[in-house]
Structure formats: C-alpha cells, structure tokens
Amino acid sequence: MAPVLDDELDESRLALIRHFQGNDEERAFEKEEQIDVSSEEIPPFSWKKLWLFTGPGFLMSIAYLDPGNLESDLQSGAIAGYSLLWLLMWATVMGLILQLLSARLGVATGCDLAELCREEYPFWARIVLWLMAEVAIIGADIQEVIGSAIALRILSLGYIPLWGGVLITGIDGFIFLFLENYGIRKLEALFGVLISIMAISFACMFAQAQPSAKELFAGLIIPGVRSGTIKQAVAVVGALIMPHNIFLHSALVQSRAITISSTAHVKEALRYYTIESAIALLVSFIINLFVVSVFAKAFYGTEIAESIGLANAGEYLQAEFGNGYFPILYIWAVGLLAAGQSSTMTGTYAGQFVMAGFLNLRVKKWVRAIFTRTSAILPTVIVALIFNGSDDRMDTLNQWLNVLQSIQLPFAVIPLLCIVSKKKIMGVFGVHPVIKVLAWLIALLVIIINGYLLLDFWSTYITATVTVTSILGVMVALYVMFVIYLIIQAWYGERAFRFLKRKILQ
C-alpha cells in the first residue's frame, strides 16, 4: 500500500476549506472583521507579530477565572490548604493541551468546532450536541452572573439585592455588542483590562494575607491528595475545563486573516497562538494560585473551613484580616466582579458561535446575542429570587451547576479529539500520534474525575428509591450510548454503521 503523501493530505484539507468558503454559510468572523496579520516574509520570531496574534488566548483564559473556578479555589485552599496546588498547575497544563488542539482545528481548517460537527454528524446528533452546548453555556452563565451579583451586593453595602445585580449584569451583553461594532481589538482590550483588575485585586489579597512561601512551593512540587480532600481535588480539575470554551477557542482564532492555503502561514499562526495561549493560561494559573493561597493561609485547619463558599467568602476574609489600608472585603468584591463580568461576556460570545456553527442561521449578531443573554438571564433572575439571602443554598446551587458542566464536557471534548485526529480534515496539520494519545488520556481522566464528582453529588443530595434509580439508570445508559456513538460516527462515519447493519441482517 503506497504511503499517503503530504500533498494529498493537504489537498483534502483545502477541499474542505473551499467547501465552506464556497457556500453561503455563517462565518465566525467575516473578512472585514478580521485583523490582517499577513506578511510576505515569515521571520523566525517577531514581537510585533506576537502582539498582533495576542487576544484570542486571553479571551479563552477567562473561563479559567470565572466565579465557578474561584469557588473551587477558595474551598480547595480552606479545606486542603496548599496541598492541591500541584493539581491546579497540572490541570491548567491539561487544559492548555485541549485548548491548543481547539485552536489548531480553527486555524488549519478556517472552521470552528461547531461548524465541523455540523458536517460530521447527522441532523439529529448535531441538534443534540447544540442543545447540550447551550445548556452548558446557560449553566456557566448562571454561576458567572450570580458571582457578579454577589460582588455588586458587597460593593453597594447591601443595597443592591441579588436579583438587582443579576439585571445589572445582564446589561453587559449590550456593552459587548457596542464594543464589538468597533472591532475585535477593542473587545480584546476590554478583556485585558478586566484580567488586569483580577490580577491586581487578588495580588493585593495575596500580599495582605502573606501566605507561607515554603508551604506554597511544597504544594506546587509535592504531589498528593490528603484524606478528606478528594472532593476538592476533583473540583479543582472539573471546574477548569469548560465545554463551551473548547467551541469558543476554535472560533476566536479566526479573528486573524490568515492565508489558510499556505502551509507556512498556518504554521506561523499556530506558533504564535501556542505562545499566546500558554502566557494567558500562565496568568490565569497565577491568579488562581493567589486565591487558593489566601484561603489556605486564613482558614485551613479552622472549624469554619467547610462552611466557606462564594457568597460568604468576603465576610470571612474581612473578619480574618480586618480593615487594613483598603478593606479586603472590597478587594475580593472587585476581583469577583471583574471575573463575573468578563466571563458572562465570553459566554455570550460562545453562545453566538455555537448557535451559528451548529444551525448555520443567517441572523444578525445582535439577535443571537439577545437570545443568548435572555436564555441565561431569565433563569438566573428566578434563581436569585429563590436563593437570595441563603448562602448555604447558593453554594449547593453552585455544586449542581458544576455537575451540569461535568455532564456536558464529553459532548465538546470527544468531537474535538475525533475531528482533529482526522487526516482528511486536518491535512498535513494532523495531530502527532503521541499528542493524540496524550489528549485522549487527558480527556479520559477529566471525564472519570467529573464522573466521580457526579456520583458523589448524587449520593449526597438525591434519595435513592426504585423509581429514581430506574430513571437515573435509563438516563445514564442513554448518555453512555450517545458518547460511544459520537466516537464511532466521528472516526468511522457511516461505514461503521453500514457494517453493523449488514452484520445484524445476516
């Protein structure tokens, strides 16, 4: 059998690109919206070029800093101390590998993951995938909006109720639309400011708390999970990798005008996006480290460690560290507000790309943004009215929402790994076998961890009866069958199902 030549592989990739560009289909970014990064000569490395490519990775990194992650951080620090910092570091590295595969898919094909799922899966399967992605976005948005509302309640000295903060936060979708009209660079600048606010706020908390440097470095270097901290270890990994963020990154990288038909230009873009994404996630890791360390120093080993959550964390910090030059309660609230506002806007962005990619709807962006905002804000207002004033119930809700994200994760990760492994789609930019195996191991590990989180939560909060067990059993069976179907369909297409059909008929 003759080996497949690189030219043949690249022709298959270019044929896919021509297919998408030749059809009147919704694109992540139209030509007039893209930033020109082309040049006749491709230097080995250019700081100017890196700056032109900087942006998508930082927008992607917001999902690693949302209020759900902050809650996981503070609980990890309060209950496990510094001992899980190594896991936070390696979980961020695992997230980086998956995000780079998402970026690779978007750059090499000129299509985002949702668009390629529309091509690879039949109508019913892609509708299910779209619905699951929307559910994940709404669930994440509820956490993010509630986080912003908690921060606004603190900063307003309690005058703004939780539901009022939710409504105020809903306005950011329209700010997002306003800035988007002025170009992607203006939007990226806004997110850069919000990330800077988070970094400064949590760095000030870190400086005020003065955690132990020795214990911090020991937590980073020495792996281990202490007895009674398994749930926190699982939450550290489960909270980082978000389903909608994988769809988002594959679309964001298309904001730069790259000559996709040129192998050299694609390689250049991948090189700069790799550097930029690594820097962005390094920043996010440092911010998460600040939060874990502050709560480890203040509350590890105390009687109140188990009772600290996102809703009451500020009050506990204030009681522990006092007023200081600038009350730590308000430092925490400013950082939390920046995290919530930025993540709700990236959620809106992800919702636009997911809807356009799966459904190919030729509708204006403001219509898609309003749909995405409304679908998240309405349930969040209801949640705020129900849970207002109840910190314990709010923390339980956040755990439910983390479980929801865990359930949805395979519906993003598995299509990504299946599609990015296909030579006919990626051409010469197919994933190296070692990276492919590593990515699948990461995906398997994350799915197992999230499965543990799900089982633990069900055993804690759901009463096992015959009816409930039967319903859950059917749901789990359908869930597993659909995951297996996604793998078979993406890898082998209809050939596998025609083969199975012949076997059954025989």
User: In this predicted model, what pLDDT tens digit does every residue of 215-234 receive, in sequence order?
Assistant: 999 999 988 887 777 778 87
470: confidence class by pLDDT, cuts 50, 70, 90:
confident
Are 201 and 334 within 8 A, CB to CB? yes
Return the residue matching tokens 């994440």. 140
Sorted by sequence, the CB contacts under 8 Å of residue 55 that are 6+ apart come out as 184, 185, 188, 252, 255, 276
- How confident is the model at residue 206, as a pLDDT? 92
Amino acid at 261: S
Neighbours of 488 (CB within 10 A): 14
**Mapping DSSP to helix (H, G, I), strand (E, B) and coil, where does residue 99 land?**
helix
Residue 202 is classified by DSSP as H
Q: What is the C-alpha separation between 398 and 139, in angstroms, rounded?
A: 9
Sorted by sequence, the CB contacts under 8 Å of residue 95 that are 6+ apart come out as 64, 240, 241, 281
Numbers of helices and strands, H then E, in the chain: 23, 2
496: confidence class by pLDDT, cuts 50, 70, 90:
very low
- How confident is the model at residue 214, as a pLDDT? 92
Q: What is the C-alpha separation between 78 and 179, in angstroms, rounded?
A: 39
Comparison of pLDDT for 3 and 224, the residue scoring more? 224
Interval 127-156: pLDDT, tens: 999 998 888 888 888 888 888 888 998 888
pTM of the model: 0.87
- How confident is the model at residue 449, as a pLDDT? 76
- How confident is the model at residue 402, as a pLDDT? 72
Residue-range domains of the chain with CATH: 28-461 (1.20.1740.10), 464-506 (no CATH)
Res 458 pLDDT > 90: no
Interval 16-27: pLDDT, tens: 666 666 565 566
393: confidence class by pLDDT, cuts 50, 70, 90:
low
| Residue (of 134, 53, 34, 58) closest to 411 by Cα position | 134
- How confident is the model at residue 240, as a pLDDT? 81
Cα maximum dimension of the chain: 80
Return the residue matching tokens 């942006």. 55
Average pLDDT over residues 412-436: 85
Average pLDDT over residues 155-176: 79
- How confident is the model at residue 491, as a pLDDT? 64
